[in-house]
Every structure is written in structure tokens, then in C-alpha cells.
């Protein structure tokens, strides 16, 4: 019988630890356990045999830690190791049945076991997401070829890595997939995702079972289990350790014995687990005790109807209480400064917009980078990567470009909202399969080939068409959000009423709605008044999510006031928090304005610096004069004091921040002025991920008016050469922090010398004057100030 | 394994921040950074205890620590430091990847803040290592422990980090090594502690902070002369 048919019928038993057993059989610390599949197949088979005899039905292949990275230089391929491992499990099963240690009618299965890669994915480490998918894909293909019955993705402590493994499994096999995660006592993965988030993401990607393994013992897992059970409509797996690990005289041990394990697992079964087994420290005796303890019991009949959740890799967001606030600011429509930033691929600007909105209470961020003339798939991917590097809140991926959609959904670390599909045939055909594949929740716009209908009835007809088609494509009705499309009341008096009646009608049928609220007032004066009232009206009709500007105080006020009035904000908790915050923020404004710009910069005061620049601009002083007569002399004073060691690093940085704040005011009013200024290419070299030092240099150079082309960190020599040529840079700055990456700096210098005529200045913790010369640099900058001095020398100013 | 509580040693943080004494602005920056980071650290460690043999270097050949499983650490400084030891404790510790995310977020906002965050992170992981060390030494009797020593220190080449990772199950705590030999997450430490069962009990040398004398980085801004 196939594995899937047995899911949900009775308990299914996994085996226990492989590593613990291999160590007992003589595996040394530092030895790769998976090589034993080939070197000592009989020992691996004996372990499988012992578990089968104990009652295990699902045997995990001895492949947990093996992958192409770890097998490099070992003289065997992934296919060799995985093939041998699956074969060992299969042989053990045949022997067990032949010997009668397992009844002939018991269903047994070989699970292809895939663990973590041992690498962190970018941007946390250096493994690109695509490469992670490739690593797992190779394992899946080997497992399928060798005849595995199912795929077990286990001990996942990073939801992003789990996504890579699940995608690889889906794309390279039709086998059932079970995915289990390792949480800490508080129910979090190492990357911060909680139980609900990890399970939601796995379910959305289409696994057949999710669960817990490793990290905790049964006693701890049972406390997290209800959260898992309630967050997904899937069978739940629990493979815990034999208790929490304890260090005894420098060695890690697990203390829960077989009898106790069986007893504790009974509680786990009662709480909702359907597939049970063990992890570190468990033995065939533990599994035997487990099977005995559960004898005569039946799995809890699990009918949950879990709510729709979206997530990044932190806490998930559901739509069961107050409407969800989706920050709309990362959208270039009508925002020239953002357009400019997107064209220049300035992700810092995008990240700043994100942080501003989060601070004001956005729970989800809309990401739209649609500027004519850009490579939208590449830019959207870049923006999503940049945003998920700084925040774990869910994103709403907003594009009409199918390629951009697919690429962004693929690399996204979570379960996003996808904005959008609509009633057009062509759009439905293209978008629905993408949303289904990546498990995105979906925004459906009430428009079709004929445009946006005028009446509520016609819009509802489109909504139902979208819902029907999505359902047919395998997307659950509860995962769809209909946008009735708010049109401005300045061109049609019925527009608000129409949109609201669509919300009301859908809400009555249990369909979620979403709306770009501010559109309602386009073309009107004092828009906040209309927007905030409209928001309250829409919430009263049952709106599930509002796409809005969280920086609009009037709208936020209306949001919290509505929550308090409707009792959706129980006990006015959010209301009180919101308005308490407002009070605290109104600081006295006195002394700030008393600082001159030079003083503000020298003292490292950001607020006063901003204010002083505004005052000077208001007085009619030219931006260039402000920079040359006020800012640069102040920065020079600070720089000199730093070199004389009368002033220390913290003050230098505060001054740089203060000057930068002043510049940002000028930039906001007069554009970035990016075309001016001598270009300098700056990068942290390949293999090095440290960028604080590099960023300090960047800000100082920019403060002095140079145009810094910042290539980021871990940058290949080829990229640096290409950028230097492209921007005709006369100066290149390279940073490396570790001895291991100075070699990469040396290689970069070699390639630069061969291709371009430019000066090269280097810096970083391990470098010295001599070392810099040895690797061929023109200059060594011992500090950020030294790099400014060198730039002045190169450019003669 | 998890620590319950991480002490914020402001004095250490300010030293890593390279602040002068009584710099109130720098103190505020560190405090602010700490408040932004304290809920983002998820400290974890893994450890191993192995038998070893120590060979001193001679004639240009580096000293060696030969472990029971056959792996060898090559470093004359380390061999000198572990002379007389027959066992070692190895551990890997990290503040976790959430710290990195928070640090990047802070970096978007301010240079001062991100430099303060990095200093606070350095102080936190060092303090965490102290608690890990204490934990590991529990129940090991009659040992003369040597202070902890890490790859990259003295003449122990950073490339040797790979060997440390081959022994420790760093996967379990999300601690990884990049292709170029750096640890990710950023705020991570691996270290070795020698156990000398022969010599009399330690003479207070176990406090590990002030041992810059052996290090080749003479320009290091944090160098402390003993």
C-alpha cells in the first residue's frame, strides 16, 4: 500500500536515532556516518533491522548529513551514498520479513532522509538559495532512483532551507513529503520562525505531513504540539530526542530511558501526533516501548480548519481579528525619489521606507518596483532579498510581470501575499499555477478584459469567477483575498458605496477582502479625512486587510478607534498602546535649533544637523555652499582630531551620521546629485561578509562629495573590474577582515592591474602597511579618515 | 544547548567600541544598541571532549595537537599553550542569525548604531563563552584547565577552523563555515581548552581575557599588554 493511503488511518511508527547507534557500533567523532553505508553496510543494516524488530514502520535512510558539499574529496558521489543507504534499508526490511522479526503483513517504508546542508543560506551565510535547491535536488534524484517510498526533510532549523528542500523534492519527484523542524523551548527555529510560521510555510508548499524532531524531548514537545496541531490541516509527526541534552563531564548525553519515553510519548499521541518515532539518544528499546505504550490507541481525529496565515520567517499573521495593515509605501507610483532609487538599485532607500512603515505599525509590507525601463524580475528579486535581510515580517509581492512574480516567490523566505490576479483569462492562466506552486495567498482584483465594472454585482461576478478558477487550480478559497477596487469619489459619487457593498457581500459569504484604501480620495483636497472615514466604513463591512500608508496619522487613529469601538480590540489594548505612544513622541523642541550646522556635526547630533540644514536652505543658502563652507570644514575638524587621537571612533561615527542626515535633507530637496562627484568603486572582497568598516568609509567619502559606487560585500574580482571600467573610477577601495580573504583581495588587485589604470586603497583588520604593499595595493588606510585623506590626494581636492 | 541569561558587560562593549573613558554619547549608543539586540540573541553551543597528545614544534615544523580520532591541529603557539595536556574540550558558540538580521536593520539607520551593535555583540558572545566554559568544566575534577584558544589566534591558521567544524556538530546550533572559512552567523566563536591532569591546580590563569602577548597582530586596536 502506498504511504499516503495510510496517513491519518492509524499511528505510523518512525525509527529512532541512527547517529547514537552508529557511535555505539564504533563511529568516531569527525567521521562521516553516511560513508558507513558503503564501508560497513552490514552494520547499518543491523541497526535498521533492530528498529524494524522493535516495531518501526518507517526507516530513515542513513543519509541525514550527507550532501555534495560534505562528500567532496571523499571519492564517492551523492548517488553512490544515497543509493547504498536506501538499499541497506530495503535489505534490512527483506531480511526482517524473511526472519519473521517483522510480521509479513506489516507495511514498512524507506524514507529518504535529508537534513540541513550544514551551510547558512544567503544573506545569513554564503549559500545562495538556488544552490541549496540544487544540493537537495541531487539527493532527491538519487533517492528516487534507488526506490525510496517517501522523502523525510528533517531537523530543519531554518525555514528558508526547508523551503529549498521542499521545492527540490516537489520538482524532482512525486513521492510523499514529510518535513519536521527543530524548535527551541519557546517554539522557535534558529532563524526565528515560530511553530505556526514553519508549519504554515511547509503546508503551503504542499507537504503531506509536518512535525517536530530533535532539539527537545517528548515532555517539551508536548507543550508546543497544540500550536502545531491548530495551525495546519495535516498529519503531525513527532520524533523527539530522549529528553533534553545535558553536558556531563564535557560530553552530551540524553537521559530519558525507554519506559519513560513510552509513557511520555503516550501524551504526545493524545495531544495530536499521528506519526511518532525518535531522534537523538533514542534506541530500538525506546521505539519498542513507544509502540507498546500506544497499543490500542487511535490517533486523535484531527479536524481543525486552520486559519489562513501568511508569514515571513518570524511570527505569522492571520486575519481573524483586526484588519491587517499592509504598508503601501514601497511602490513608485507618484514617488519620484523612489523611482530614482529603484533605477539606481539603491536598496538602502527601499529598506529605509520599510523600517519607517514598520515603526508606525505596518504588519505586512507591499513591494512593488514597477518602474518603466527596469529589469523588473531582477529588481523585484533584489528588493525582496534586501528586505528579507533586514526584517522577518511578511511581504506582499506586487507585480503584473509573471517572470518577476515567479522569481520573487521562489526566493521569498516565507508565505507571502501575491498581488495580483484578476478576471482576465490570460492573467488567470498565468498567475494561478505560480501562486499554487509557491503556496502564496492571492489577491484577486475585480476587473477583467472589459475593465473595471461600474456596479457591485458585476464586480462580484468577477470575484466569484476568480475564486472558482483558483479553487480549480488547487488554491483554497480561504487563501484568496478579493480587492473590490476603490475608485476615487471625485469622479463618481457611487464609487465608495460600490466598493463597500462588494466587501460586505463577500464578507457575508466568508470570503476575505483587501483594498488600497487611499485611492478613494484621489484628486480631492485634505485626503486624510476621506481616507480615514472610508477605512472605518470598510472595516465595519468586514475588510480583512487594508493597503495603506501607515505614516498617515489620521488613518491609524481611525483604525485604532474603530478597533476599540467594535470590540475587536479587546479591552482597548491596541488603542491605548497607540495613543500612549503618540504622547511620548511629542518631545520638547527647544534647544535643537540653537546648534549651528558645524556644531551639530562636530558634536555628532543628527536631529540638530538636519534642522540646521533646513534653516540654511530656508535662508536661501545654496546646497553646494552649505556642503563646502559648513559640512566639509566640520568633518575636517573631526577627522584631524581623530588622527591626533583626541577624538575616538564613536564620535567620528556620530559626526558622520550627523553630516549624512544633513545631506539627506539636501538630497530630499534637490535630488541625489549622483551625477556629480568623482566616482570611487568600493567593495568588501569575495568570500568576506564583513561590511561595517566598508560602510563607514562609504559614508565618509560620500560626505566629502565623492560618488561612491558601493558593490556591497562578498564581491568577485570580475564584478569589481567591470564596475571600475563602467564608472571610469580612478580610485578603488577594497576591504577584507580576515587573513583567509586577503588572498581574495590580492587576486582582485591583480585583475584590476591587468584591466584598468586606477589607484587602489585597501583596509581591514588584518592588514598593515607592509601587507598592503606586498599584495600590490597603492595605499593602506588604517582608518576611515585615512581613506578620505588618500582620496583627497588622488583627486587633488 | 541554551543559556538562560546573557550579561551585558557595558565596559567590555565600550572597549570594543573603542570609546574613550566617560563618553556618555558612546555609552548611550551602546545601551540603545543593546536594547535593540537583547531579544534577537539566541545563544547556543555545542561541545566535545577528546583525548589528545601534544607535540612541540622544532626546526621550522609547527607544533601539533594530535586528537584521539587522528585529526591534528597545527600551531606552535597552541602546542606550547597545551603542553602537558592529555585531553581537550572543544566548543562552538553563537548568538544566532537573528542577531545578524537585527544588525543589518540597524545598519540601514545609522553608522554609530551599527558599530555600537557590533561592539555589544562582541561583548555578549565573549561573556557567553565564559558561561559555556564554566558549564563544560563542571564535573571534570582535578583538571588544570588552560584558557581558551581559538583558530586565527597566534600562529593557529584560520584555515584550521575546518577541522574544528569536522568534530563539532555545529549544524545543530546553526553555526556554519563559509567557503572562505568565515563563521556565519557573524557573532560566533570556536575554542579549545586544554585539560592537564598532571600539573597542580591552576593558578588563576584560566581567566582568559588578557593574553595578547602571543598574538602576531601587533597593530590590533584591542591589544592589551599583560
Segment B15-30 shows an average pLDDT of 93
pLDDT in tens, A350-374: 999 999 999 999 999 999 999 999 9
Contacts of A23 (CB under 8 A, 6+ apart): none
- Mean pLDDT, rounded, of chain A: 93
**Residue B20: its chain A contacts at CB < 8 A?**
648
Segment A94-116 shows an average pLDDT of 95
A389 touches chain B (CB under 8 A): yes
Contact B111 A695 (CB under 8 A): yes
> Which pTM does this prediction carry?
0.91
pLDDT in tens, B83-115: 999 999 999 999 999 999 999 999 998 999 999
A249 touches chain B (CB under 8 A): yes
| Burial class for A205, CB neighbours closer than 10 Å (0-12, 13-18, 19+) | buried
pLDDT in tens, A743-762: 899 999 999 999 999 999 99
3-state secondary structure A226-261: HHHHHHCCCCEEEECCCCCEEEECCEEEECCCHHHH
**Residue B179: its chain A contacts at CB < 8 A?**
126, 687
What is the distance in angstroms between the Cα of B30 and the nearest Cα belonging to chain A?
Answer: 10
Residue in A313, A309, A314 with CA at minimum distance from that of residue A324: A309
* Greatest distance between any 2 Cα atoms in chain A: 96
Residue B205 predicted with pLDDT over 80 = no
Q: Is the Cβ–Cβ distance between A283 and A18 less than 8 Å? A: no
Report the half-sphere exposure of A494 (CA within 13 A, side-chain side).
7
Contacts of A771 (CB under 8 A, 6+ apart): A742, A780
What is the distance in angstroms between the Cα of B223 and the nearest Cα belonging to chain A?
Answer: 12
Percentage of residues of chain A with pLDDT beyond 90: 82
Which of A118, A390, A738 faces B101 most closely, judged by CB atoms? Answer: A390
Q: How far apart are CA A121 and CA A388, in angstroms?
A: 12
Contacts across the A-B interface (CB distance below 8 Å):
183
Q: How far apart are CA A609 and CA A564, in angstroms?
A: 40
All three cell numbers of A210, joined, read 509536518
- Residues 597-636 of chain A with CB under 8 A from chain B are 604, 606
Interface test with A, best of B30, B112, B133, B153 (most A CBs within 10 A): B112
Give the pLDDT of residue B81: 93
Return the residue of B nearest to A695 by Cα: B111
**Residue A663: its chain B contacts at CB < 8 A?**
none
Return the residue of B nearest to A648 by Cα: B19
All three cell numbers of A433, joined, read 499555477
Report the half-sphere exposure of A473 (CA within 13 A, side-chain side).
25
Phi, psi of A430 (to 5 degrees): -85, -40
What is the distance in angstroms between the Cα of A440 and the nearest Cα belonging to chain B?
Answer: 24
Strand order in the sheet with A679-684: A707-710, A679-684, A731-735, A759-763, A779-780
Q: Residue A77, Cβ neighbours under 10 Å: how many?
A: 13
Q: How far apart are CA A141 and CA A85, in angstroms?
A: 14
Q: How far apart are CA A741 and CA A219, in angstroms?
A: 46
Give the pLDDT of residue A766: 82
Provide the CA A88 distance to its chain's centre, in angstroms.
Answer: 38
pLDDT in tens, A374-400: 999 999 999 999 999 999 999 999 999
Q: Residue A661, Cβ neighbours under 10 Å: how many?
A: 21
Return the residue of B nearest to A764 by Cα: B220
**Residue B24: its chain A contacts at CB < 8 A?**
none
Residue in B125, B133, B126 with CA at minimum distance from that of residue B100: B125
Q: How far apart are CA A366 and CA A442, in angstroms?
A: 13
Interface test with B, best of A30, A213, A602, A745 (most B CBs within 10 A): A30
- Residues 431-470 of chain A with CB under 8 A from chain B are none
Segment A587-600 shows an average pLDDT of 69
Contacts of A641 (CB under 8 A, 6+ apart): A647
All three cell numbers of A560, joined, read 485604532
Q: Is the Cβ–Cβ distance between A461 and A477 less than 8 Å? A: no
3-state secondary structure A711-757: CCCCECHHHHHHHHHHCCCCEEEEECCCHHHHHHHHHHHHHHHHHCC
A688 touches chain B (CB under 8 A): yes
Q: Is the Cβ–Cβ distance between A201 and A233 less than 8 Å? A: no
pLDDT in tens, A151-201: 999 999 999 999 999 999 999 999 999 999 999 999 999 989 999 999 999
Q: How far apart are CA A635 and CA A367, in angstroms?
A: 37
In the three-class reduction of DSSP (H, G, I as helix; E, B as strand; rest coil), residue A673 is classed as coil
Q: Residue A511, Cβ neighbours under 10 Å: how many?
A: 22
Q: How far apart are CA A204 and CA A232, in angstroms?
A: 9
All three cell numbers of A621, joined, read 543658502
Own/partner contacts of A402-408, CB < 8 Å, gap of 24 or more, are A402/A430, A402/A431, A402/A434, A403/A376, A403/A377, A404/A376, A404/A377, A404/A379, A404/A380, A405/A431, A405/A434, A406/A377, A406/A434, A406/A438, A407/A377, A407/A378, A407/A380, A407/A381, A408/A367, A408/A377, A408/A380, A408/A381, A408/A384
Residue B1 predicted with pLDDT over 70 = no
> At B129, is the pLDDT very low, low, confident or very high (cuts 50, 70, 90)?
very high
Segment B136-160 shows an average pLDDT of 86
Contact B174 A355 (CB under 8 A): no
Q: What H or E segment, with its residue span, contains residue A304?
A: none
Contacts of A279 (CB under 8 A, 6+ apart): A16, A17, A155, A213, A214, A239, A240, A241
Residue A590 predicted with pLDDT over 80 = no
> At B219, is the pLDDT very low, low, confident or very high (cuts 50, 70, 90)?
low
Segment A440-453 shows an average pLDDT of 97
A250 touches chain B (CB under 8 A): yes
What is the distance in angstroms between the Cα of B139 and the nearest Cα belonging to chain A?
Answer: 5
Q: How far apart are CA A713 and CA A711, in angstroms?
A: 7
Amino acid at each position: 500500500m502506498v504511504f499516503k493511503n495510510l496517513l491519518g488511518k492509524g499511528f505510523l511508527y518512525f525509527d529512532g536515532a541512527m547517529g547514537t547507534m552508529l557511535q555505539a557500533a564504533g563511529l568516531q567523532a569527525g567521521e562521516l556516518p553516511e560513508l558507513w553505508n558503503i564501508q560497513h553496510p552490514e552494520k547499518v543494516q543491523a541497526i535498521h533491522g533492530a528498529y524494524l524488530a522493535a516495531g518501526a514502520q518507517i526507516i530513515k535512510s542513513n543519509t541525514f548529513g550527507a550532501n555534495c558539499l560534505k562528500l567532496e574529496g571523499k571519492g564517492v558521489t551523492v548517488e553512490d551514498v544515497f543509493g547504498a543507504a536506501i538499499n541497506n534499508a530495503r535489505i534490512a526490511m527483506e531480511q526482517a520479513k524473511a526472519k519473521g522479526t517483522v510480521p509479513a503483513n506489516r507495511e514498512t517504508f524507506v524514507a529518504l532522509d535529508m537534513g540541513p546542508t550544514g551551510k547558512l543560506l544567503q544573506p545569513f551565510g554564503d549559500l545562495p538559495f538556488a544552490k541549496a535547491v540544487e544540493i537537495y535536488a541531487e539527493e532527491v534524484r538519487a533517492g528516487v532512483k534507488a526506490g525510496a517510498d517517501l522523502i523525510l526533510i528533517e531537523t530543519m532549523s531554518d525555514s528558508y532551507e526547508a523551503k529549498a528542500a521542499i521545492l527540490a523534492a516537489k520538482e524532482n519527484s512525486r513521492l510523499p513529503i514529510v518535513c519536521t523542524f527543530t524548535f527551541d523551548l519557546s517554539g522557535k527555529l534558529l532563524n526565528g520562525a515560530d511553530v505556526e510560521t514553519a508549519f504554515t510555510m511547509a503546508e503551503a508548499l504542499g507537504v503531506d505531513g509536518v512535525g517536530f524532531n530533535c532539539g527537545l524531548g517528548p515532555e517539551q514537545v508536548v507543550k508546543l504540539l497544540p500550536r502545531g496541531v491548530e495551525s495546519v490541516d495535516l498529519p503531525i509527526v513527532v520524533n523527539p530526542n530522549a529528553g533534553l541534552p545535558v553536558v556531563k563531564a564535557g560530553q552530551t548525553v540524553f537521559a530519558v530511558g525507554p519506559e519513560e519515553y513510552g509513557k511520555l510519548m503516550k501524551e504526545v499521541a493524545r495531544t495530536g501526533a499521528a506519526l511518532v518515532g525518535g531522534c537523538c539518544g533514542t534506541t530500538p528499546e525506546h521505539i519498542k516501548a513507544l509502540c507498546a505504550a500506544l497499543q490500542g490507541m487511535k490517533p486523535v481525529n484531527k479536524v481543525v480548519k486552520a486559519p489562513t496565515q501568511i508569514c515571513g520567517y518570524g511570527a505569522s499573521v492571520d486575519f481573524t481579528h483586526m484588519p491587517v495593515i499592509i504598508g503601501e509605501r514601497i511602490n513608485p507610483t507618484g514617488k519620484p525619489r523612489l523611482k530614482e532609487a529603484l533605477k539606481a538599485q539603491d536598496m538602502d532607500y527601499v529598506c529605509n521606507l520599510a523600517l519607517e512603515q514598520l515603526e508606525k505599525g505596518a504588519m505586512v509590507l507591499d513591494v512593488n518596483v514597477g518602474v518603466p525601463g527596469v529589469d523588473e524580475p531582477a529588481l523585484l528579486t533584489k528588493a525582496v532579498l534586501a528586505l528579507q535581510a533586514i526584517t522577518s515580517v511578511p511581504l506582499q509581492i506586487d507585480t503584473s510581470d509573471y517572470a518577476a512574480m515567479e522569481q520573487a516567490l521562489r526566493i521569498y523566505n516565507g508565505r507571502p501575499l501575491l498581488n495580483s490576479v484578476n478576471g482576465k483569462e490570460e492573467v488567470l492562466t498565468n498567475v494561478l499555477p505560480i501562486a499554487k506552486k509557491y503556496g502564496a495567498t492571492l489577491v484577486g482584483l475585480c476587473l477583467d478584459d472589459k475593465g473595471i465594472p461600474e456596479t457591485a454585482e458585476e464586480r462580484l461576478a468577477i470575484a466569484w469567477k476568480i475564486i472558482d478558477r483558483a479553487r480549480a487550480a488547487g488554491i483554497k478559497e480561504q487563501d484568496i483575498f478579493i480587492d473590490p477596487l476603490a475608485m476615487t469619489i471625485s469622479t463618481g459619487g457611487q464609487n465608495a458605496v460600490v466598493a463597500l457593498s462588494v466587501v460586505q457581500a463577500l464578507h457575508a459569504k466568508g470570503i476575505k477582502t483587501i483594498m488600497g484604501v487611499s485611492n478613494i480620495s484621489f484628486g480631492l483636497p485634505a485626503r486624510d479625512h476621506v481616507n480615514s472615514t472610508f477605512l472605518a466604513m470598510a472595516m465595519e463591512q468586514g475588510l480583512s486587510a487594508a493597503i495603506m500608508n501607515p505614516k498617515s496619522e489620521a488613518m491609524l487613529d481611525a483604525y485604532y478607534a474603530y478597533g476599540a469601538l467594535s470590540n475587536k480590540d479587546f479591552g482597548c489594548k491596541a488603542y491605548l498602546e497607540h495613543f500612549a505612544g503618540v504622547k511620548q513622541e511629542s518631545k520638547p523642541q527647544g534647544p535643537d535649533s540653537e546648534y549651528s550646522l558645524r556644531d551639530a556635526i562636530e558634536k555628532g547630533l543628527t536631529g540638530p544637523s538636519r534642522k540646521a540644514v533646513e534653516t540654511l536652505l530656508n535662508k536661501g543658502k545654496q546646497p553646494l555652499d552649505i556642503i563646502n563652507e559648513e559640512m566639509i570644514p566640520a568633518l575636517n575638524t573631526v577627522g584631524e582630531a581623530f588622527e591626533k587621537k583626541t577624538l575616538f571612533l564613536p564620535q567620528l561615527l556620530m559626526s558622520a551620521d550627523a553630516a549624512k542626515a544633513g545631506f539627506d535633507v539636501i538630497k530630499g530637496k534637490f535630488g541625489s546629485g549622483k551625477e556629480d562627484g568623482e566616482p570611487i568603486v568600493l567593495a568588501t572582497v569575495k568570500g568576506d561578509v564583513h561590511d561595517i568598516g566598508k560602510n563607514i568609509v562609504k559614508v565618509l567619502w560620500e560626505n566629502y562629495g565623492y560618488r561612491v559606487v558601493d558593490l556591497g560585500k562578498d564581491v568577485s574580482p570580475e564584478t569589481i573590474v567591470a564596475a571600475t571600467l563602467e564608472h571610469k573610477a580612478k580610485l578603488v577601495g577594497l576591504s577584507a577582515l580576515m587573513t583567509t580573504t586577503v588572498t581574495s583581495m590580492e587576486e582582485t588587485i591583480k585583475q584590476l592591474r591587468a584591466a584598468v589604470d586606477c589607484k587602489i586603497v585597501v583596509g581591514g583588520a588584518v592588514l598593515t602597511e607592509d601587507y598592503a604593499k606586498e599584495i600590490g595595493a597603492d595605499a593602506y588606510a588604517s582608518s576611515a579618515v585615512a581613506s578620505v585623506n588618500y582620496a583627497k590626494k588622488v583627486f587633488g581636492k | 544547548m541554551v543559556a538562560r541569561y546573557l550579561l551585558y558587560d557595558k565596559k567590555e562593549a565600550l572597549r570594543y567600541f573603542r570609546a574613550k573613558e566617560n563618553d556618555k554619547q558612546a555609552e548611550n549608543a551602546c545601551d540603545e544598541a543593546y536594547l535593540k539586540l537583547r531579544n534577537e540573541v539566541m545563544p547556543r553551543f555545542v561541545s566535545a571532549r577528546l583525548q589528545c597528545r601534544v607535540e612541540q614544534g622544532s626546526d621550522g615544523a609547527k607544533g601539533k595537537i594530535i586528537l584521539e580520532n587522528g585529526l591534528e591541529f597545527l600551531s606552535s603557539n597552541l602546542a606550547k599553550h597545551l603542553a602537558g595536556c592529555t585531553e581537550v574540550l572543544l566548543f562552538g558558540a553563537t548568538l544566532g542569525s537573528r542577531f545578524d538580521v537585527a544588525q543589518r536593520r540597524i545598519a540601514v539607520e545609522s553608522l554609530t548604531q551599527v558599530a555600537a551593535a557590533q561592539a555589544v555583540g562582541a561583548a555578549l558572545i565573549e561573556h557567553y563563552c565564559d558561561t559555556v566554559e564554566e558549564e563544560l568544566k563542571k564535573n571534570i575534577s582535578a583538571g588544570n584547565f588552560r584558557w581558551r584558544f581559538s583558530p586565527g589566534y597566534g600562529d593557529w591558521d584560520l584555515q584550521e577552523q575546518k577541522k574544528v567544524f569536522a568534530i563539532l556538530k555545529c549544524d545543530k546550533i546553526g553555526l556554519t563555515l563559509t567557503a572562505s572559512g568565515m563563521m556565519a552567523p557573524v557573532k560566533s566563536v570556536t575554542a579549545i581548552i586544554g585539560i592537564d591532569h598532571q600539573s597542580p591546580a591552576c593558578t588563576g590563569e584560566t581567566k582568559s581575557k588578557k593574553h595578547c602577548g602571543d598574538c602576531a597582530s601587533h597593530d590590533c586596536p584591542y591589544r592589551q599588554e599583560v
